[in-house]
């Protein structure tokens, strides 16, 4: 699948911003449990993969 647009997808940027906001609201950084760590790690992986996909284009 070849995408014609070279610019970052604005929808991905909005999803990323919403993800960061949700993570900051849901995760209790002062008392992190396993679920909190899993949420943060999954969010970071998604953000890194999205940025990497933008840079590859």
Q: pLDDT truncated to tens, each residue of the chain (57 aa)?
A: 445 455 667 787 788 888 888 877 777 767 778 887 888 888 889 888 888 887 887
Number of domains comprising the chain = 1
Is 4 within the bounds of a domain? no
Is 18 within the bounds of a domain? yes
Give the per-residue pLDDT at 6.
56
Give the C-alpha separation, 21 to 14, whole Å: 11
CA distances from 6 to 3, 10, 24, 38 (A): 8, 12, 30, 32
Is 2 within the bounds of a domain? no
Domain that includes residue 37, residue range: 10-56
């Amino acid at each position: 699948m070849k995408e014609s647009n070279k610019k970052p997808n604005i929808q991905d940027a909005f999803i990323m911003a919403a993800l960061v906001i949700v993570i900051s609201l849901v995760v209790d950084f002062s008392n992190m449990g396993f679920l909190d760590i899993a949420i943060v790690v999954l969010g970071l992986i998604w953000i890194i993969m999205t940025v990497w996909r933008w840079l590859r284009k």
